[in-house]
């Protein structure tokens, strides 16, 4: 270098630096990685099937990453995430990076010849049945309160950590080529990494592993810094959870240790999905450059954060909703930004989405079939980037973007597509009586007993029967117009008749119609309710290569027509036995949709509840004596913070009761729940006051029934006697044993006999064999009491 060029170089740098510190920054926390056409899903599935090799898979991944980076660069984002990409799950990525590999996978490493690291990675995610090995997958669970599922890290007492799968450095290196110092590596922070995992042995607490874990984080951070990283994002969502004293100390310890051994790189701690609340003091005093807070979920936390924030800390304001599909209200966001700028100065403010955009669909521009008026109210991940950039311009005084946004927000606020007076009036008029059956359970039980004359241990199933290729093709052909309504309905009718005949033959007591006409338990209802819309391509990753396309609730919900009566009436007419009507409950419909952000979840749920209530009443009028309202998602709606749970449970239970209470005593209301722990919510389950609840219990060997027993659960209950998640056919004896166990815990007269869940993912042969054994088990159990 010549003298001059060196002088010029450093002058540019200084200028850039001055600009850097004076200006407000924008950032993103993470971008969807499935690709706009779900390329990653397809590539992974092909790789697993041996149809493409690793280099093909990597090519697809590289392309997605580069497109994502370019999109964010084009949008004008200052700090762009890298290492947010993952082939399966970002928490699993951390486990590989940190060398947290459960012992059972050792043979994959020693014996598998091919692509060791990636095959180990997928083995941990999906299990490994090849090369004479049979190793189970790691457990998967929900990522906080989202519908994304992560792979749960497994820790042992002598857990060691070491840099193992050093992917992050390559990711950052590649991102830097395109983004230079804007490339911001993302890691799950050390404390949340431990807390979100689980102990696989007794005798230790995983949080105590923090001392061993921190040095590896120091090493990673220092190497990223040496590679030229200017910012590093450490996600610590657990800072927004209830923390014990020890856990708080772990945060303090971890970040102080890191700060002592790392310098010259900006660390950003990202929190999201709730307020910091009692962790605010702790969070703002962690020795890092910046803290991110979620101001969509918890706008109220801003004041306290601003009051406590120390001089040195920069604040990232999560103002653009990363979890929903609505256009940002700029005026509202500007108020927040201005407040922060006034308190901190522009150079200490960063504009951001509330959380990673992983939870948003990718690109609204692809939705060419949406009603343009409604589309103008929406924003997907790509559009949200634009919003972040525009908010910066607005905060800097460039007002020309405000008007169009105001108009869109105003058009939604006033639109007759959103607001139905009749619905609002009905919501306002709901009374406690609407949420209460005519008589208490003992009275109803008597009436129903006389009506149905069921044996003890009555048998039933949860609703769906195998969705065979034939059935799926029927629906697909009908959708494409290759079958007309008559042809389609005839075929569905035949499948229904066959299922009913067969249930009679094996002597099931309360029958179902099989749900052959349904694609999905929420979509089926959303398609028939007003206030819902469906996107063509609004996919969001659920786990691994699995994506979901949730419906969007945009307006007041109402039910223009009967939804299930036609099929239930048809089914009931085929048999003399009781036929269960089959509905999805209001909380589950809410929970598995994108919801309105212009009214509370409670109100939206009550609107759905009224629609379901009308359907229940219509079924009753059509002569259907038993109606099941599925609520598998009640528990997953639980707020992260304990203090908020009672309120949620109150309104969620009430919504169910509203949907169930329009009928006479003699109509038997069932509900069904799976994937649930009931211990901490049993009183609320009881408050739902369903005449019969069926639950998933077989995998826990009736363990989950303990809660009902301790509580002396008063109503009838069907603890699942066999696991429907595998094709394995349970023996009669083992189901008899489970029933005996159940009868020790609860009065036999209240017990039903049924599988854990619906059978739609199963094949017919195993379904038939299993249900025949189940009926035999019920009959044996009847002899034994």
Of residues 5-24, those binding ligand GLN (CB under 6 A): none
672 is in an annotated binding site: yes
CB of 462 to Zn ion, least distance (A): 6
Q: What is the DSSP letter of 88?
A: S
Among the listed residues 78, 390, 630, 665, the single contact to ligand GLN using CB under 6 A: 630
Among 189, 190, 322, 463, binds ligand GLN (CB under 6 A): 463
Q: From the CB of 114, what's the least distance to Zn ion, in Å?
A: 38
What is the C-alpha radius of gyration for the chain, rounded to an integer number of angstroms?
Answer: 28
615 is in an annotated binding site: no
Q: What is the nearest approach in angstroms of ligand GLN to the Cβ of residue 512?
A: 8
Site string for ligand GLN, 553-582 (x = CB under 6 A): -----------------------------x
Task: Tell me if 26 sits within 8 A of 388, measured CB to CB.
Answer: yes
How far apart are the C-alpha atoms of 337 and 349, rounded to whole Å?
8
Nearer to ligand GLN, 405 or 460 (CB): 460
Q: Is 775 in the site for ligand GLN (CB under 6 A)?
A: no
In angstroms, the CA 600 to CA 612 distance is 19
**What phi-psi label fits residue 228: left (phi over 0), alpha (psi between -120 and 50 degrees) or beta?**
left
Q: Tell me the residue ranges of DSSP E strands in 101-227.
A: 128-130, 133-135, 140-142, 149-151, 154-155, 183-188, 198-199
Q: How many helices (H) and strands (E) does the chain have?
A: 29, 23
Annotated binding residue 674: yes
According to the annotation, is 555 in a ligand binding site?
A: no
Residues 659, 663, 666, 668: what is their CA dihedral angle, to the nearest 10 degrees? -20
Whether 725 sits among the annotated catalytic residues: the reply is yes
458 binds, among ligand GLN, Zn ion, none (CB under 5 to 8 A by kind): none
Residues listed for the chain: 785
Nearest to ligand GLN of 463, 578 (CB atom): 463
Name the minimum Å distance from CB 674 to ligand GLN: 5
Paired with 150 in beta bridges are 141
- CA dist 423 and 608 (Å) reads 10
Count CB atoms within 10 A of the CB of residue 14.
Answer: 10
Nearest approach in angstroms of CB 335 to Zn ion is: 44
Contact footprint for Zn ion (CB under 5 A): 632, 674, 757
Angle between helices 54-75 and 381-395 (to 10 degrees): 30
Q: Which of Zn ion, ligand GLN, none does 593 bind, CB closer than 5 to 8 A by kind?
A: none
**Angstrom distance (rounded) from CA 474 to CA 619:** 26
Nearest approach, Cβ of residue 720 and Zn ion (Å):
8
Contacts of 671 (CB under 8 A, 6+ apart): 585, 628, 629, 630, 631, 656, 660, 688, 690, 692, 693, 694
Helices 90-97/116-126 angle, 10° precision: 130
44 is an annotated ligand-binding site residue: no
Residue 582 interacts with, from ligand GLN, Zn ion, none (CB under 5-8 Å by kind): ligand GLN
**674 is an interface residue for ligand GLN by CB under 6 A:** yes
When the beta carbons of 63 and 725 are compared against ligand GLN, the nearer one is: 725
**Closer residue to Zn ion (CB): 122 or 543:** 543
Distance between CA 183 and CA 231 in Å, rounded? 8
Q: Which is nearer to ligand GLN, 491 or 627 (CB)?
A: 627
Nearest to 347 by CA among 421, 289, 409: 289
Q: Is 462 in the site for ligand GLN (CB under 6 A)?
A: yes
Partner from ligand GLN, Zn ion, none contacting 760, C-beta within 5 to 8 A by type = ligand GLN
- Whether 365 has a binding-site annotation, put simply, is no
Q: Which of 757, 774, 775, 781 binds ligand GLN (CB under 6 A)?
A: 757
| DSSP character string of 512-581 | --B-TT-S-TTHHHHTTSEEEE--SS--EEEETTEEE---EEEEEEE-SS-SSHHHHHHHHTT-SS-BEE
- Pairing status of strand 266-270 against strand 290-294: parallel
Tell me which of 149, 173, 292, 725 is the catalytic residue. 725
Alpha-carbon torsion 406, 410, 412, 413, what sign?
A: positive
Closest separation between CB of residue 675 and ligand GLN, Å? 8
Which range, of 115-123, 287-295, 602-610, 756-764, touches ligand GLN by CB under 6 A?
756-764
Q: Tell the smallest beta-carbon distance from residue 674 to Zn ion (Å).
A: 3
Taking CB under 6 A as the criterion, the residue among 34, 35, 758, 781 binding ligand GLN is 758
Considering the rule CB under 6 A, would residue 464 count as an interface residue with ligand GLN? yes
Q: How far is CA 270 from the centre of its chain?
A: 20
**Window 472 to 531, contacts with ligand GLN (CB under 6 A):** 515, 521
Is the CB of 206 or the CB of 672 nearer to ligand GLN?
A: 672
Which residues participate in the annotated binding site for 5-methyltetrahydropteroyltri-L-glutamate?
Answer: 142, 546-547, 592, 636
Catalytic residues: 725
Which residues participate in the annotated binding site?
Answer: 142, 462-464, 515, 546-547, 592, 630, 636, 672, 674, 696, 757
Which residues participate in the annotated binding site for Zn(2+)?
Answer: 672, 674, 696, 757
Residues near ligand GLN (CB under 6 A): 462-464, 515, 521, 582, 630, 632, 672, 674, 757-758, 760
């Amino acid at each position: 270098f010549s003298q001059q060029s060196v002088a010029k170089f450093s002058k540019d740098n200084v200028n850039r630096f001055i600009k850097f510190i004076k200006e407000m920054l924008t950032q993103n926390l993470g971008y969807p990685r499935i690709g706009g056409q779900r390329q990653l899903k397809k590539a992974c599935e092909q790789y697993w099937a041996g149809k493409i090799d690793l280099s093909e898979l990597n090519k697809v991944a590289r392309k997605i990453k580069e497109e994502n980076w370019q999109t964010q660069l084009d949008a004008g984002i200052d700090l762009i995430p890298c290492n947010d990409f993952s082939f399966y799950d970002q928490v699993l990525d951390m486990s590989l990076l940190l060398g947290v590999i459960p012992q059972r996978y050792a043979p994959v490493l020693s014996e598998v010849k091919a692509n060791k690291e990636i095959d180990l990675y997928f083995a941990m995610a999906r299990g490994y049945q090849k090369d004479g090995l049979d190793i189970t997958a790691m457990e998967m669970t929900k990522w906080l309160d989202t519908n994304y599922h992560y792979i749960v890290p497994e820790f042992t007492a002598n857990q060691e950590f070491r840099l193992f799968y050093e992917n992050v450095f390559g990711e950052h290196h590649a991102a830097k080529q395109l983004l230079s110092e804007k490339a911001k590596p993302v890691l799950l922070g050390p404390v949340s990494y431990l807390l979100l995992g689980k102990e696989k042995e007794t005798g230790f607490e995983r949080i105590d592993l923090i001392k061993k874990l921190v040095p590896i984080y120091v090493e990673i951070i220092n190497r990223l810094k040496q590679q030229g990283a200017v910012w590093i994002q450490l996600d610590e969502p657990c800072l927004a959870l209830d923390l014990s004293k020890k856990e708080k100390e772990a945060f303090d310890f971890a970040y102080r240790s890191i700060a002592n051994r790392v310098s010259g790189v900006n660390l950003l701690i990202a929190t999201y999905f709730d307020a910091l609340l009692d962790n605010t003091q702790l969070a703002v005093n962690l020795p890092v450059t910046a803290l991110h807070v979620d101001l969509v979920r918890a706008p109220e936390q801003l004041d306290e954060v601003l009051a406590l924030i120390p001089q040195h800390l920069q604040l990232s304001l999560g103002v653009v909703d990363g979890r929903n599909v609505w256009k940002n209200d700029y005026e509202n966001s500007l108020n927040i930004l201005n407040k922060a700028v006034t308190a901190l100065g522009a150079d200490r403010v960063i504009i951001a989405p509330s959380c990673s955009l992983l939870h948003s669909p990718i690109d609204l521009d692809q939705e060419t079939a949406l009603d343009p008026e409604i589309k103008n109210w929406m924003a997907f991940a790509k559009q949200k980037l634009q919003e972040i950039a525009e908010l910066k311009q607005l905060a800097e005084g460039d007002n020309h973007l405000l008007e169009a946004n105001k108009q869109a927000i105003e058009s939604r606020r006033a639109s007759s597509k959103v607001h139905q007076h009749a619905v609002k009036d009905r919501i306002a008029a709901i009374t406690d009586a609407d949420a209460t059956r005519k008589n208490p359970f003992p009275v109803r039980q008597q009436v129903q007993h006389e009506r149905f004359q069921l044996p003890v241990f009555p048998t039933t199933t949860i609703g769906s029967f195998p969705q065979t290729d034939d059935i799926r093709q029927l629906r697909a052909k009908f959708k494409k117009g290759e079958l007309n309504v008559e042809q389609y309905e005839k075929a569905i009718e035949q499948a229904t008749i066959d299922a009913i005949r067969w249930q009679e033959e094996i002597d099931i007591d309360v029958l179902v119609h099989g749900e052959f006409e349904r694609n999905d338990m929420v979509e089926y209802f959303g398609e028939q309710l007003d206030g819902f819309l469906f996107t063509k391509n609004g996919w969001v990753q659920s786990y691994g290569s699995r994506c979901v396309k949730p419906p969007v609730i945009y307006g007041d919900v109402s039910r223009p027509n009967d939804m299930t009566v036609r099929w239930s009436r048809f089914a009931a007419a085929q048999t003399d036995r009781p036929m269960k009507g089959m509905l999805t409950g209001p909380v589950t419909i809410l929970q598995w949709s994108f919801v309105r952000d212009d009214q509370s979840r409670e109100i939206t749920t009550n609107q759905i509840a009224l629609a379901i209530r009308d359907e229940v009443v219509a079924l009753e009028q059509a002569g259907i004596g038993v109606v099941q309202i599925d609520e598998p998602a009640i528990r997953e709606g639980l707020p992260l913070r304990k203090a908020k749970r009672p309120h949620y449970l109150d309104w969620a239970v009430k919504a169910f009761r509203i949907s169930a209470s329009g009928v006479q005593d003699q109509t038997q209301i069932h509900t069904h729940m799976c994937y649930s722990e009931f211990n901490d919510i049993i009183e609320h389950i009881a408050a739902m006051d369903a005449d019969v609840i069926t639950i998933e219990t077989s995998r826990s060997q009736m363990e989950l029934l303990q809660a009902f027993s301790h509580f002396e659960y008063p109503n009838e209950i069907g603890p699942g006697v066999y696991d429907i998640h595998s094709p394995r056919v349970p023996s009669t004896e083992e189901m008899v044993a489970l029933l005996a166990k159940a009868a020790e815990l609860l009065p036999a007269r209240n017990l039903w006999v049924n599988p854990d869940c619906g059978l739609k993912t199963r094949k017919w042969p195993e379904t038939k064999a299993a249900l025949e054994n189940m009926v035999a088990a019920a009959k044996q159990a009847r002899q034994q009491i």
